[in-house]
Amino acid sequence: MSIALLFILVASQQPTQQPARPAPPPPTPPDALAQPVARVEVQPPEFALQVGDTLRLRATAYDSAGHQLTEAAIRWFTSGGRFEGDVDSTGLVRAGATGTLNVAAVATVPGRSVKSTVGFARITILPLGPAKLVVHPRPERMVAGTSLALEAVPYAVNGDRRYDQVAWKSSRPSLLEVSAFGRVTARAPGRATITAGAGSASESWSITVVPNAVAHVAVAPAEASVRTGDVVRFAFSATDAGRKPVADARPEWASTLTCPPSATACTPSTSPIRRSRRSPTR
């Protein structure tokens, strides 16, 4: 047997090598799965409501090609303070209190385990407009030559405090003048109407200005020494030339802090406090 024939015989008896099989691809992570919902639009994306009002939001889901996904399911949620309002399962927003309400629309596809896609809307809750004014003090009579600071506080129909600017007006400024800040000055005897207004709310009343008969005023006690935390109540009286009380005189109180001549510094424990008032004058 030749050497070449022997080599062929040995080679034919060797086992045939099979080609290696390719390894299976690694599993796709959940985040890499195709998301059928690419974006969610909420209409309107921004809106302003007054307390007590409602608004219907609408959410639409779209795929990556911009096609509407009618089979998408929408769930509604809110974030922020629990007093500002809420949203129900249909997207109806109810405004509760002044503030900002952030509403989220979460879109999913029923029957498919995919990542949720969220759209947002921002709702600003505005207070109700002023419905009434509370004026204090509200004098009916004033002494000519005196003045008085009035305060008008606006309130909404639900009782919320408002901070709208109040406009003041007098029907007869020559008799009864009122400043833009609500200070009323009685100029001459007569009768006039004062009106305070804010938004759609207004308050009017009449004031009678009487002649100034005040000749003497007194404050009791005339002097008092107090320590920190003490309370002293002062009494005011006004009388005419015949020492008869003038009931229509109204005081405005002011305070000053003075030190004894021998004191090197004013301290609450050593400073006498004298109270004075701006008395009505002719």
Q: pLDDT tens digits for 70-110? A: 999 999 999 866 788 999 999 999 998 888 999 999 999 88
Same-domain pairing of 120 and 87: yes
Looking at the chain, the whole-number percentage of residues with pLDDT higher than 70 is 78
User: What residues does 250 pair with on adjacent strands?
Assistant: none
Q: Does 120 share its domain with 47? A: yes
Identify whether residues 69 and 107 lie together within a single domain. yes
The count of domains in the chain is 3
pLDDT tier for residue 205 given thresholds of 50, 70 and 90: very high
**Per-residue pLDDT, 149:** 94
Backbone torsion region of residue 3, taken as left when φ is above 0, otherwise alpha when ψ lies between -120 and 50, otherwise beta: alpha
Of 210, 226, 255, the position where a domain reaches its end is 210
pLDDT category, 113, cuts 50, 70, 90?
confident
Domain boundary among 126, 150, 185: 126
Q: Indicate if 250 and 169 belong to the same structural domain.
A: no
Burial of 111 (0-12, 13-18, 19+ CB in 10 A): exposed
- Same domain, yes or no: 121 and 62: yes
Helix (H, G, I), strand (E, B) or coil at 190: strand
Helix, strand, coil percentages for the chain (3-state, nearest 5): 5, 45, 50
For residue 238, list its beta bridge partners. 217
Q: Is residue 25 part of a domain?
A: no
Answer whether residue 15 is part of any domain: no
- Is the pLDDT at 278 greater than 50? The verdict is no
Q: At 32, list the tokens.
A: 């890499």
Q: Which residue segment(s) compose the domain that 223 sits in?
A: 216-277
| Beta-carbon contacts of residue 82 (< 8 Å; ≥ 6 apart) | none
pLDDT higher than threshold 80 for residue 262 = no
The CATH number of residue 180's host domain is 2.60.40.1080
Give me the pLDDT at residue 46, please. 96
Q: Which of 242, 237, 234 is nearest to 217 (CA)?
A: 237
109 within domain boundaries: yes
Least confident of 152-156, 171-175, 201-205, 243-247: 243-247
277 pLDDT more than 50: no
| CA distance readout (Å), 82 to 87, 94, 122, 206 | 11, 11, 15, 45
Report the C-alpha gap between 138 and 206 in whole angstroms: 9
State the CATH number of the domain containing residue 97. Answer: 2.60.40.60
Same structural domain, 187 and 268: no
pLDDT one-digit tens code per residue, 13-56: 555 555 566 666 665 454 444 578 999 999 999 999 998 899 99
Chain center to CA of 239? 48
How much is the mean pLDDT over the chain?
Answer: 83
Determine if residue 143 is left, alpha or beta; phi over 0 gives left, psi from -120 to 50 gives alpha, anything else beta: beta
CB 64 within 8 A of CB 40: no
pLDDT at 106: 95
Mean pLDDT value of segment 115-130: 91
Q: Give residue-wise pLDDT tens across range 231-249.
A: 989 898 889 888 888 888 8
Calculate what percentage of the chain has a pLDDT beyond 90. 50
> What pLDDT sits at residue 76?
96
Q: What is the mean pLDDT of residues 219-235?
A: 88
- Please give the pLDDT value at position 16: 55
Please check whether residues 220 and 175 belong to one and the same domain. no
For residues 84 and 138, membership in a common domain is answered with no
- Residue for token digits 């020494």? 225
Amino acid occupying residue 243: R
3 located within any domain:
no
